[in-house]
Every structure is written in structure tokens, then in C-alpha cells.
Structure 1
Amino acid sequence: MATHKTYLVISAVGADHPGLVNDLSRSILEHGCNIEDSRMTVLGGEFAAILLVEGKWNTLAKVENALPELQRSLDLTIVCKRTGARAQGEGKLPYAVDVIAMDHPGIVNNLAGFFAERRINIEDMATTTYAAAHTGTPMFAVHMTVGIPSDTHIATLREEFMDYCDGLNLDAVLEPQKA
């Protein structure tokens, strides 16, 4: 009999300090669960994490019950939610999108609008700002993974995307996701 996996999504935000990931992951492990997927970063002076924790229903309950104390002891704001396994993206082709431009408001919203209008799901996204070498010009970079429906004509989509980005003065690449 196949075992049905159960999951808990945990979101945690708080002042960054050494040992946070160790303490958070240890608590999950000690309650009999496993971190199956995660994103963790420091934004400004704040640590932010989103974790997909896998375990049996009763071990996930133990993690849920431990979160208020963990929140207090680590000085984090923690929110959790039960979830199921992710539905497989039938007919979706994973593509990587990379964009670099001089930093200005609206880049993420413009890109999200382009894909939303075409019913293309943004599955993962990371952005950053940095100073350009030599000039110090504020720059913005975004990397995202999108799920393109398999019936989409890729060459047409790529041409539309490149024209759209050119019109916004964004340097962009749209290519198949590498494994």
C-alpha cells in the first residue's frame, strides 16, 4: 500500500542572526519530519524562510504544536499551513527567464503582467539589485522559472517576449530550463 505524503508549509521571518537555520531545522528533525523543499534568504536585516516540511500527519502536528515556542525562542514570526502534494504540471514546459536592466519601479509587475496575460504560471522567482561595475549604476536582475503550456508556439512567444522587453529597455533571455 502506497503511503500518502502529507506536508506543512512554514513561513518564518525575523531579525537575522547566526544559528537560525540550525535551530529551525533541528526542531523539524527532532519532531520526526523532513524539510523537502525550502527557500531561505536575508532581506535587509531580516531572515526569511519558506519551508515545505514532509511527515506523517501526527509528526506534522508535533511540529505545529512546537511552533509557538520556536517563534518565541528564535524571535520569529511563523505562519504554517497544511498542504498536499503539488499537482504535476501536465503539459507544462519549464522555461528559465533572466532579465537585467537599470533599476526602476515596475519591472516585476511588467514581467508578471506579460506572463499572466498568456496564462503562463510563474513557478519560481528571485530578484536582486546591485551596482554596475565601473559606473555604480543601480541595476536590477530577475531570474524566474515559468511553466509554459505545451500547445504554446515557443518561437512566437519568445519573439513577443523579446519585443516586449526591448520596448521596456530590459535585456532578457527566455530558454528551456536546464536540469
Structure 2
Amino acid sequence: MTAFENQQLVLTAIGEDRSGIVSELTQLVSDCHCNITDSRIAILGNEFTFIMLLSGDMSAISRVEHTLPVKGMELGLLTMMKRTSTHYHSDFSAGYTLEYNGIDTPGTLSKVTRFFAEQSINICSLKSDTYQKSTDTHMRCELEINIPTNVDVDTFKIKFEDLSSSLDVDYILRRIR
């Protein structure tokens, strides 16, 4: 396989949420002879966000790059694209999901993500939101993390227990790989 056969493009589309957007975008990708190798959709407020990783040969990727701006304008979408290459995972000893929740307090997510950065732990995915419970606004967050081989898992768990206690959040840490 040559470098021209495995080109990759990250495509992001943002716009007002309504039926049919996913169909229109996936049809465009298909018509350009690209493959969707990874994707995420989120509704944030009234806005739809679609992120896709596309693969294809150089001409297929170029067709998407030239066709998407016009289609995006027709659909009222803000679109962005960036060529990329295959992501190679670093050595890690374990993968975990972390779910935490508590009273919504400004700065909690920032402190948790800073903690991971200081421990050299990669965040693979993150989803957070808020919800009403009784008269309080609560927050919840779900993360998937990879712990590098040079990080002691037991020490990490103790340090995270201390952090969660100081932030007054409950959490569940599950090993997934």
C-alpha cells in the first residue's frame, strides 16, 4: 500500500440541530469514495456537532476537501477539515473508564484534567454534562484514560482518591484493558 492509498482527513461540522444532517454528510463522504473510520456526534445546546475521521486515496480526500465547503453552506453548517495521519498508541499498562459526579462546582473538570496531565496520563475520550437533582445542579463526567507503563497504577489510584475527596465527587474507576 502506498502513502497515496491511505490518506486521512478529520472533518468537523457544526450547525443548528435538525433531521437529515447526518444523512447528507455521510452521503457526501460516500459519493467522494471515502470511508468513515471513526466518528462522534454531540448535541450541545441547539447545535449539532459531527466529527469524522475519513480515509481514502488522495483523490477521494481531495474531493471531500473541495465539495464540503459548498455543501456545508447549503446546509448552514460551519465546517473545518484537517489532514492527519494514523495515530499510533504509546505504550500503556492499562486503560480505564472513570466516571465521577457531584454538585456542579466551577473548575472541577479543569482540576481533574490537570491532574491527568501532571501524571502524563492520556485522555482518550471525555463527556461531561450537568443535571438537576432536587434543588442543586449536579455534574457528571465520563473519561476514558490510558495509563503509561512508567506510571505506578496503585500510586495513581491513591492520588486520585485524594483529589476526588478534595473536590467532593464520587467516582468509579473501571479497568477496560
**TM class, shorter-length:** over 0.9
Distance (Å, rounded) in 2 between the aligned partners of 1:153 and 1:97: 17
TM-score (norm 2): 0.93
Q: Does 1:160 align with 2:159?
A: yes
CA contact under 8 A between 1:34 and 1:55: conserved in structure 2?
Answer: yes
**Per-residue displacement from partner, 1:96-139 (whole Å, max 9, x unpaired)?**
1111011121111010111111111111101111122xx14211
Q: Does 1:10 align with 2:11?
A: yes
The match for 1:108 is 109
What is the CA-CA distance between 1:90 and the residue it aligns to?
2.2
Aligned identity (percent) is 30
Distance (Å, rounded) in 1 between the aligned partners of 2:66 and 2:93: 37
CA contact under 8 A between 2:119 and 2:151: conserved in structure 1?
Answer: no
The match for 1:143 is 142
Distance (Å, rounded) in 2 between the aligned partners of 1:91 and 1:28: 34
Output the amino acid matched with 1:175: R
Secondary structure of the equivalent of 1:70? helix
Distance (Å, rounded) in 1 between the aligned partners of 2:2 and 2:14: 35
Moved over 3 A (4+): 1-4
Output the amino acid matched with 2:123: I
Map 1:25-174 to 2 at 5 A: 25-132=26-133, 135-174=134-173
What is the CA-CA distance between 1:45 and the residue it aligns to?
0.5
Distance (Å, rounded) in 2 between the aligned partners of 1:157 and 1:131: 31
What is the CA-CA distance between 1:70 and the residue it aligns to?
1.1
What is the CA-CA distance between 1:42 and the residue it aligns to?
0.8
The match for 1:177 is 176
Secondary structure of the equivalent of 2:143? strand
Q: Point out where structure 2 has 5 or more consecutive residues left out of the alignment.
A: none
State how many pairs are aligned. Answer: 176
What is the CA-CA distance between 1:177 and the residue it aligns to?
2.0
TM-score (norm 1): 0.92
CA contact under 8 A between 1:89 and 1:147: conserved in structure 2?
Answer: no
Secondary structure of the equivalent of 1:27? helix
